[in-house]
Amino acid sequence: MPQDIDTGPSEIAIRERSYYLWEREGCPEGKNLEHWLRAKAELEAEEEAHRRAEAALSGSPYFVMPRPMISAPPRRTTATRIDARKDALRA
């Protein structure tokens, strides 16, 4: 059974993205490696986001929902109300 092999972004895609970055920055000289590495990192991040989105839509266990942020610790208001009702029933 053939498996998908993750090879990352193609050289052509990296070349096109790095050229776009170079043009966007005003065609500076001597930053070709910086543009290449940044283009590769951007494309890899986009591919990872795409894989995560596909996994979330397919129900795959690859995607894990993040825990929600808790703004304040839980309070014991419910327990207090129950205790108050018990006291009222005893009286």
pLDDT tens figures, 24-52: 999 999 999 999 999 999 999 998 888 88
pLDDT surpassing 60 at residue 3? no
Classify residue 75: in a domain, yes or no. no
Average pLDDT rounded to a whole number, residues 7-26: 91
Query: Looking at per-residue confidence, does 7 or 34 come out higher?
Result: 34
- d(CA 12, CA 20) in angstroms, rounded, equals 12
What's the total number of domains in the chain?
1
- d(CA 29, CA 39) in angstroms, rounded, equals 16
**What residue numbers bound the domain in which 15 lies?**
8-63
Classify residue 82: in a domain, yes or no. no
Q: What percent of the chain has pLDDT over 70?
A: 64
Classify residue 15: in a domain, yes or no. yes
End-to-end CA distance of the chain: 74
